[in-house]
C-alpha cells in the first residue's frame, strides 16, 4: 500500500532487545532532541511590543465612511442588514432636513445604525452588499469589554472620524479601482484628504 506521507510508521509488536529494554539510549535520544530545541530560535511574538502583520484581506471592526465633503455616505437602504447572515445590523432611516446637506449625502440617512459585534462574524457581506461604498471592514480589532451591552456599536463608534479618516484602500480590489477611474462615478472616490 502506498502511504500518503513519509511520516507514518507501521507498528510492530516485536520483542524488544536487551539494549532497547534498558531505555537509556532512547532517553538520551529524547534528551538530545530537547537540548537541540533549547538552542533553537524562539517562535514567540511578544505581543504588545511586537504585533503580527495582518493579511491584506483581514476583516475587522467596521467603519461607516464619509464622502469627499465629509457627509455620511450611508442612505439607510438596509441592504447590509438583509445581507448579514448573523443578523447583526439594525438601522432606523430618517429624512434629511434642509440645511443638513453637508452632513448626509442623500435625502435619506440612517439616524440609528447599530452593529452587534458579538453577533457579527466578520464575513464582509455587508461591505459587498453596500451600493454606496459606505460600510467597510478595517484592520482594527474590536475592543474587549466586560458588559455585553457595550458590544452594540452605534454610529458614535462606527462613523469615520472627520480628522484622521480610516484607510480602507486595502479592501478595494483592482476592478473597483479601475471602475472608479470612470469620471461618471467620480463621486464614489473615497475621501483620503478631508477639508475638516
**Shortest distance (Å) from residue 19 CB to other proteins:** 15
Q: Which is nearer to other proteins, 32 or 187 (CB)?
A: 32
Query: Are 95 and 107 within 8 A, CB to CB?
Result: yes
**Shortest distance (Å) from residue 46 CB to other proteins:** 7
- Please state, in angstroms and as integers, the Cα–Cα distance from residue 56 to each residue in 45, 47, 89, 165, 170, following that order: 20, 20, 24, 18, 6
> Can you give the binding site for other proteins, defined by CB under 8 A?
27, 30-31, 33-35, 37-38, 40-44, 46
Between CA 124 and CA 146 the distance in angstroms is: 26
Q: Which is nearer to other proteins, 38 or 146 (CB)?
A: 38
**Shortest distance (Å) from residue 87 CB to other proteins:** 41
**Shortest distance (Å) from residue 41 CB to other proteins:** 8
What grid cell was written down for 59? 476583516
Q: Which is nearer to other proteins, 19 or 33 (CB)?
A: 33
**Shortest distance (Å) from residue 55 CB to other proteins:** 24
In the block, cell 458614535 appears at 156
Q: Which is nearer to other proteins, 1 or 45 (CB)?
A: 45
Q: How many CA atoms lie within 13 A of 111 on its CB side?
A: 7
Q: Which is nearer to other proteins, 32 or 97 (CB)?
A: 32
Among residues 122, 1, 144, the alpha carbon closest in space to that of 62 is found at 122
Amino acid at each position: 500500500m502506498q502511504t500518503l506521507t513519509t511520516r507514518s510508521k507501521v507498528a510492530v509488536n516485536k520483542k524488544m532487545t536487551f539494549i532497547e529494554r534498558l531505555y537509556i539510549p532512547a532517553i538520551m535520544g529524547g534528551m538530545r532532541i530537547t537540548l537541540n530545541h533549547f538552542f533553537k530560535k524562539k517562535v514567540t511574538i511578544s505581543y504588545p511590543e511586537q504585533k503580527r502583520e495582518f493579511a491584506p484581506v483581514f476583516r475587522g471592526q467596521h467603519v461607516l465612511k464619509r464622502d469627499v465633503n465629509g457627509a455620511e455616505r450611508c442612505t439607510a437602504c438596509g441592504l447590509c442588514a438583509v445581507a448579514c447572515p448573523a443578523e447583526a445590523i439594525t438601522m432606523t432611516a430618517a429624512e434629511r432636513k434642509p440645511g443638513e446637506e453637508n452632513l448626509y449625502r442623500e435625502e435619506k440617512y440612517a439616524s440609528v445604525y447599530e452593529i452587534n459585534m458579538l453577533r457579527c462574524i466578520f464575513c464582509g457581506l455587508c461591505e459587498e452588499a453596500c451600493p454606496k461604498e459606505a460600510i467597510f471592514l478595517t484592520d482594527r480589532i474590536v475592543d474587549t469589554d466586560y458588559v455585553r451591552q457595550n458590544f452594540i456599536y452605534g454610529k458614535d463608534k462606527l462613523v469615520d472620524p472627520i480628522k484622521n479618516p480610516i484607510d480602507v484602500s486595502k479592501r478595494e480590489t483592482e476592478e473597483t479601482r479601475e471602475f472608479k477611474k470612470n469620471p461618471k462615478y467620480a463621486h464614489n472616490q473615497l475621501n483620503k484628504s478631508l477639508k475638516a
